[in-house]
Structure 1
Amino acid sequence: MTQTTDTAALPSSAQRVSDLLAQIGHDKPVVMLPATGRTSAEAAAGLGCSVSEIAKSIIFRRVADDAPVLVIASGSNRVDESKVTALVGPLGKADAKFVRDSTGYAIGGVCPVGHVVKPVMLIDRDLFNFDSVWAAAGHPHAVFNLTATQLEKMTGGMVADVKLDPAPDAA
């Protein structure tokens, strides 16, 4: 695994996240992956961790008011949209323009903090099963390490069960 933590080498969006993390007192650096971290599997492979330890960001659009809804889920979990809907109201799809306009980040690099529009935020309770997790840092190659508790504190997100439960076996 080859990573760089040289902030001089950070793309501008990742540098913005690095600066924001420093401002809020987060002590872990933004790390640049040598290959993309657009998917949880790619990020986990680059970091040498399990897919479950990736805190993936999924943006929805709330139908009632066009508010962004950010679900930060364990990388191995699929999000159950019906559970999210029960918590925040009906959801619509968020296209790439909506994601960029509301978060300030491109899909594949949506950071949990530093959004253009403050999102409604839900945090997958399964992330609390790990000593630390990795979240996107504003760029598809950029990530940072934190605990789920730090994630909850820095975002003010609500911890919830958002995981799609496996279908029962047909007997």
Structure 2
Amino acid sequence: MTPAIRLLKKQKIPHTVHEYKHDTSVSSYGEEAAQKMGVQAGRVFKTLVVQSDKMLAVGIVPVSSKLSLKNMAKALGVKKVAMADPKDVENATGYILGGVSPLGQKKRLKTVIDESAFEYDSVFVSAGRRGLEVELSASDLKKLLQAVYAEIAGL
């Protein structure tokens, strides 16, 4: 059981765990998840960690989109952000790249969820390892993470 799933159970948050066989030759983990689960890519969200001069933060965007660094910086109230160094991501979250869950991270990072998540009854995020996703409501995700939402997805 991953820290993400443990957190959901402890907080008694309704969720469904989805597991699929991860193909190690695939580099687009989120799109692989959507395809293997037969779910619209707009409902599957990836967890991206960014770095500003002050902090690490998490952006949660659909796998069918890219993260707008400009919009992410605006949502965080900083001048600019860049993608965080992979080692910093793994150290702060406790997860390996491709399996970074926004839930159950070692350090609680400020989190911004793309507003498109609220268009769906439920969304999918990594459950903490490649080939494992968790489905839950965007409002529960927001509440658990004490997140804000903003338009942070770009094309």
1:79 aligns with 2:67: yes
Q: Which runs of 5+ in 2 are unaligned?
A: none
The number of residues matched between the two structures is 150
SS in 1 for 2:153: coil
Pairs within 5 Å for 1:78-157 = 78-88=66-76, 89=78, 90-157=80-147
1:32 paired to 2:22: no
Tell me, which stretches of 5 or more residues in structure 1 are unaligned? 1-13, 167-171
Would the alpha carbon gap of residues 97 and 25 (structure 1) be closer, same or farther in structure 2, given more than 3 Å must change?
same
Equivalent position amino acid for 1:55 in 2: F
Paired with 2:59 and 2:44, the residues of 1 have a C-alpha distance of: 13
Q: Which structure: larger Rg?
A: 1
**What is the deviation of 1:99?**
0.7
Shift of 1:29: 3.9
Q: Give me the CA root mean square deviation.
A: 1.7
Partner SS for 1:151: helix
8 Å Cα contact 2:59/2:112 also seen in 1: yes
- How far apart in 1 are the matches of 2:153 and 2:18? 27
Residue 62 of structure 1 pairs with residue 49 of structure 2:
no
What percent identity do the matched residue pairs reach? 23
Task: For CA contacts below 8 A with separation 6 or more, give which structure has more relative contact order.
Answer: 2
